[in-house]
Amino acid sequence: MSVLVGKKAPVFSAKAVVNGNEIVENFSLEQYVGNKYVVFFFYPADFTFVCPTEIIAFQDKIEEFEKRGVAVVGASTDSEFSHWKWLQTENKDGGIKGVKFPLVADSSMSISDNYDVLAGEHDYNEEGQLVFNGTPMAYRGLFLIDKAGVVRHQIVNDMPLGRSVDETLRMVDALQFFEENGEVCPADWRKGASGLKATQEGIAEYLGKN
């Protein structure tokens, strides 16, 4: 599994559904560089079980992300048509109607591959035929990308394990606190708490207060 932290986020251009109902041809995260932070997350598949709980949870907290200048973007290996249909389906019927942030269609699996969250890989069999070994879906990868387009945080969960939206917000707050104050964030740091200076004296001062 690749560690992308500290590196430029892989660039892509793909079809996506935006605003819950509009299919666009050339969606890219590059539109946010210099303007917004990005939470870019992968999920295994549309019309499944854990995935809608995560996506709806991100939508429920979308104002909190927007207040922090963060764009939330989801992606799976489904087509843009599958995304669109799922977005038109009521929640009680297993859909995600009401979700407005973009969902990227990675039907070629190239984006998942570049972010190294694809649950399998292409290979050639003994007959020389190109085959896919594994599951042609993405793990639950999540990448926090700063305004310069650099990955600052990543997590990857196995498919049965849903993520915490509150923890994602905490990481956004920690990154922005560090950028604004130059102080680092200790274990279990929360917005409103003090940070610490990255020196032995700073650590001793912090531990003395806590």
185 annotated active-site: no
Contact 138, 106 (CB under 8 A): yes
Is residue 187 within a helix (H) or strand (E), and if so which, with residue range? none
| Rounded distance between C-alpha atoms, residue 149 and residue 36, angstroms | 9
Which pair of structure tokens corresponds to residue 126?
A: 């003994």
Which residue's structure tokens are 């990005």? 38
Catalytic residue among 4, 16, 29, 51: 51
| Rounded distance between C-alpha atoms, residue 147 and residue 123, angstroms | 36
Helix (H, G, I), strand (E, B) or coil at 76: strand
Do you know the residue count of the chain? 210
Active site positions, annotated: 51
